Amino acid sequence: MANDLSPGHLLARGVCRCLMDHGFACLPEVVPRPGLRVDVMALGRKGEIWVVECKSSRADFTSDRKWQGYLDYADRFFWAVDTGFPREILPEGTGLILADRFGAEILRMAPEAKLAAPRRKLVTQGFARTAALRLAGRTDPGLSFQA
């Protein structure tokens, strides 16, 4: 199965393993609003929300024109890359995670930019709804629902 995953999905898997070790619940490919899809959204025990964008190559990074829109949906924003990625091209003031398909390590903590309470509530509810709908779809693939 892992051989069927793209390089970005493999990075996301390693990131989720790492963040779960740090007490976060993780969801890959979350849509916080139409037109945006974050690679990993993580919800901490105290309600903190982290967003991680997984980049598998320079071209993958340079073609991403939407990442700054993700900042409005996270307390902390990280890039996740592998050992061969040119880390010097990543923007300052963002977190950095070194990842592979098996795990990850936080190399640079992202600065905190706490979400306002109304936005936090919306993001948390969206996270919970996405998780619940995915779980329902796994237990009953015939279900039809709106995300």
How much is the pLDDT for 45? 96
User: How does pLDDT run across 11-66, given as a tens digit for each residue?
Assistant: 999 999 999 999 999 999 999 999 999 999 999 999 999 999 999 999 999 998 89
> What is the H or E stretch that residue 105 is in?
strand 104-108
Report residue 147's pLDDT band, with 50, 70 and 90 as the boundaries. low
With CA atoms as reference, report the closest residue to 104 among 77, 74, 75, 83. Answer: 83
In the DSSP assignment, the letter for residue 93 is: T
How much is the pLDDT for 20? 97
DSSP string for 22-86: TT-EEEEEE-SSTT--EEEEEE-TTS-EEEEEE--SHHHHHT---HHHHGGG-SEEEEEE-TTS-
Report residue 145's pLDDT band, with 50, 70 and 90 as the boundaries. low
- Cα separation, 5 vs 103, in Å, equals 15
Report residue 138's pLDDT band, with 50, 70 and 90 as the boundaries. confident
User: How does pLDDT run across 78-117, given as a tens digit for each residue?
Assistant: 999 999 999 999 999 999 999 999 999 999 999 999 999 9
